[in-house]
Copies of this chain bind each other. A is one copy, B any other.
Amino acid sequence: MYWQDLTYPEIEEKIKQDPIVILPIGSTEEHGHHLPLSSDSLQAIYVAEKIAEKSNGLILPPIYYGYTELDDFKGTISIGFNTLYNLVLDILNEITDDGVKKILIISGHASSLHMGAIRYASKKIVEEKDVKIMVLSDYDIAYELRAKLVPENDSHAGIIETSRILHIREDLVKKNWIFGEGSKKKYMITKGYREIYPYGTLSSPNGATKELGEKIDEYVIEKLWEIVKENFSL
């Protein structure tokens, strides 16, 4: 299932079967006082594994670094737009040169410019080569549950995210569930977010449970698998 566990002749054989190759992209980003910096990476990898199982696909080594504006919180590591763009572009170029035709990029981090860099690189490949690339954040699907399972304003490090990490890696969730109302001025460009969201949470995690997390993850996997099957004509 993992690209990197194979030898090169094994990869060569495997590529001939036209597998879906999945690139999980996370981030190293603050997620409040209770969730680990790897939260986005954990979720992307979890989803990637489930889809790889279902599709008999391959998972590329994950990218643990993304672009995020929350980098004035200690521990957050944001890489530049062009760094991320070139990293994804180089990887896509190499695997499509090797014959890969079906690519799924799952990002656990969903911020707009981060996704933009990934899509921009993917678009360049699609324009130059005859391959199919699907790009999404699992949050594109998970947030369909807002106003259904969770409050409409559920967001970064809130109920959905806390529940999912409880489900995936409960041991990494701290008891320290703090949330404070932010006061970001609409449309203003900010130097940093630490003053705006003092605890790094954009909505309250209260109400999160492991069971809810499992339910959400199941929803995400099921929905995503349907779309994958249709998009890649499986």
Q: Which residues of A contact B (CB under 8 A)?
A: 2-12, 15, 26, 28, 30-38, 41, 60-65, 69, 71, 73-83, 86-87, 90-91, 94-95, 97-99, 112-113, 115-116, 119-120, 122-123, 125-127, 132-136, 140, 172, 174, 176, 185-191, 200, 227, 230-231
Q: Do A4 and B38 touch (CB < 8 A)? A: yes
> A7: which of B12, B34, B61 is its contact (CB, 8 Å)?
B34
Q: What residues on B are CB-neighbors of A123 within 8 Å? A: 69, 189-191
Q: Do A7 and B37 touch (CB < 8 A)? A: yes
A7 to B15, CA, bound (A): 39
Given contacts A7-B176, A37-B8, A38-B4, whether A64 and B62 have CB atoms under 8 Å apart is: yes
Nearest CB on B from A229, distance (A): 12
Q: Do B61 and A28 touch (CB < 8 A)? A: yes
Q: Do A79 and B75 touch (CB < 8 A)? A: no
Q: Is the interface of A mostly helix, strand, loop or mixed?
A: mixed
> A87: which of B87, B125, B127 is its contact (CB, 8 Å)?
B87
Q: Do A99 and B126 touch (CB < 8 A)? A: no
Q: What residues on B are CB-neighbors of A63 within 8 Å? A: 64
Nearest CB on B from A96, distance (A): 11
Q: Do A11 and B33 touch (CB < 8 A)? A: no
Top 4 A-B pairs, shortest CB-CB distance: A61-B64, A11-B75, A4-B38, A8-B30
Q: What residues on B are CB-neighbors of A186 within 8 Å? A: 136, 227, 231
Q: Do B8 and A189 touch (CB < 8 A)? A: no
A122 to B3, CA, bound (A): 30
Q: What residues on B are CB-neighbors of A76 within 8 Å? A: 8, 94
What are some 29 contacts across the A-B interface (CB < 8 A)?
Answer: A3-B37, A5-B36, A7-B30, A7-B32, A7-B174, A8-B31, A8-B33, A10-B75, A28-B60, A28-B61, A38-B61, A61-B64, A61-B65, A62-B64, A65-B87, A65-B90, A71-B97, A74-B99, A79-B91, A81-B81, A81-B116, A82-B82, A82-B86, A113-B119, A119-B189, A123-B189, A126-B190, A126-B191, A185-B231
